[in-house]
Amino acid sequence: MRNGSNHTDDDSNLFAVGGEMNLMKKRKDLDNKHDDKEFGDQTSIKKARVIWSVDLHQKFVKAVNRIGFDKVGPKKILDLMNVPWLTRENVASHLQKYRLYLSRLQKKNDQKSSTGLSFLNSLNKQQNDGAIDNFRYSDGTLKLHMDTTSHEVDLNGTVTRPTIEKIRASISDITDPKIRKSSQIGCNQPFESAESEANHTVYEYSPVSTQCSWNEVPKRLLKKEQNTQKHFQIDQPLSMNSNPSDYKSDYVSPVNSMVSEIDTFPSQSKSLIANDQSPDIVFTSSLSSKAPGYNLGCISDMEIYQRNLLLDSHAASTPLDEYYNMNFGMQNMEMSEYYDPWLIAEVPTNLYDSADYS
């Protein structure tokens, strides 16, 4: 529909103008060729490519989880989703991708849990990598990384300190005024209305709104640490994987990687200024002094993304940023209250490493 109606309208208008057409035609050349062919019979107007918006995907995931992983099939999903214009093929295709994603996810987890001791190494490595990675994102934001590994570590008690302190240090580097301010702004926005909108809503924000990641996080995990103490902004999550290349554009597992990001790192005053003018960071994350690991990373980046969209439609971030934004990471925040639990779909529980959340 997107292409269909809009473009053909444009084209026909142009066509009427005639004289000016050539100029425009160059631009629209491709489309016109299409149209020529397609106008032969009205019936063959190319059907729109389905864009799996956040909402749509959430529906999808919800359906999948409802049906149960073993019994799931495109048809059933389609039924449950109850989206009239969607076809079985659409769903099938999406399901294929989804399965692919999940299996990779699982592989990652297995890998991780079987590596045993080496997770310490990977923790360090990851933090280092993170530091480097931070600059891959040219938006000047600092990402603070945290991994479930650190959570495990935390539980063990042993290695907890460094991690936490590292984070704390970073946090305290950030001085409050601006962050606080913009955090608040972001946080106080009402999300619900927008979130519960039908799919179409999202389209209005395209082109950037359409990407999504699979991350879906069990609600209950969010509830565990409600008392939050520090607020800081998060923006772009980043994969924490020890195997970055592999994850370049992967969907990030909620289990595997949790990321918080702190804007306003001293060395990156650039972004400070930018944010000052138009705070593009919208969410607040929280660190509990008790169990940072726990507290981190319990919300889907999709949702974050969605919120970002809604709250910040004039977006300071570039499409590219947005793009990456979607593909990476988990974030956590104290947003639970803002959510309608219904709207949050979950990844099958068996995919979570139970140790991580037990």
Partner DNA sequence: TCAAAAATAT
Partner DNA sequence: GATATTTTTG
Judged by CB, which is closer to DNA: 47, or 290? Answer: 47
349 C-beta neighbours (distance < 10 Å), count? 11
Q: Tell me: does residue 348 bind DNA (CB under 7 A).
A: no
Beta bridge partners of 317: none
Task: Pick the binder of DNA from 198, 319, 342, 354 (CB under 7 A).
Answer: 319
Q: Does 323 bind DNA (CB under 7 A)?
A: yes
User: Is 210 near DNA (CB under 7 A)?
Assistant: yes
End-to-end CA distance of the chain: 46
Q: Given candidates 148, 211, 253, 300, which one binds DNA under the rule CB under 7 A?
A: 211
For CA atoms 304, 165, 243, 248, the dihedral sign is positive
Compute the least distance from the CB of residue 201 to DNA, in Å.
16
> Does 249 engage in binding with DNA (CB under 7 A)?
yes
Q: Which residues, numbered 31-70, are part of the site for DNA (CB under 7 A)? A: 47-52
Least distance to DNA from the beta carbon of 265, Å? 27
Q: Does 328 bind DNA (CB under 7 A)?
A: no
Which H or E run contains 37? helix 21-38
Residues 134-193 that bind DNA (CB under 7 A): none
Nearer to DNA, 94 or 231 (CB): 94
Q: Sign of the CA dihedral 10, 30, 50, 244?
A: negative
Residue 311 makes contact with DNA by CB under 7 A: no
Please report how many Cα atoms fall inside a 13 Å half-sphere around the Cα of residue 74, on the Cβ side.
12
Residue closer to DNA by CB (options 139, 356) is 139
- Would you tell me how many other CB atoms lie within 10 Å of the CB of residue 112? 23
Could you give the C-alpha distances from 300 to 26, 212, 235, in angstroms and in order? 42, 10, 13
CA-angle at 300, arms to 297 and 302, nearest 5°: 140
Eight-state DSSP code of residue 2: H
Decide if residue 339 touches DNA (CB under 7 A): no
CA distances from 210 to 56, 200, 206, 331 (A): 10, 11, 6, 19
Would you say 4 or 266 has its CB closer to DNA? 4
Q: Where are the alpha helices (DSSP H) in 116-146?
A: 118-133
The only residue of 235, 250, 280, 334 in contact with DNA, by rule CB under 7 A: 250
Give me the least distance between CB of 97 and DNA, in Å please.
6
We find the least distance from the C-beta atom of residue 160 to DNA, in angstroms, to be: 34
Q: Does 118 sit near DNA (CB under 7 A)?
A: no
SS3 24: helix
Category of 157 on φ-ψ map: left (φ > 0), alpha (ψ -120 to 50) or beta = left
Which of 10, 29, 89, 192 touches DNA (CB under 7 A)? 89
Q: How far apart are CA 254 and CA 234, in angstroms?
A: 16
Q: Residue 341: is the preceding peptide bond cis (ω within 30°)?
A: no
* Options 67, 74, 189, 228; binder of DNA; rule CB under 7 A: 74
**How far apart are CB 142 and DNA at their closest, in Å?**
24
Using rule CB under 7 A, residue 106 touches DNA: no
DSSP class of residue 339? S
Choice between 244 and 293, CB closer to DNA? 244
Binding segment (CB under 7 A) for DNA, from list 140-148, 246-254, 264-272, 297-305: 246-254
Stretch that binds DNA, among 85-93, 109-117, 156-164, 277-285 (CB under 7 A): 85-93
Q: Would you tell me which residues interact with DNA (CB under 7 A)? A: 3, 47-52, 72-76, 88-90, 92-97, 99, 207, 210-211, 248-250, 319, 323, 327
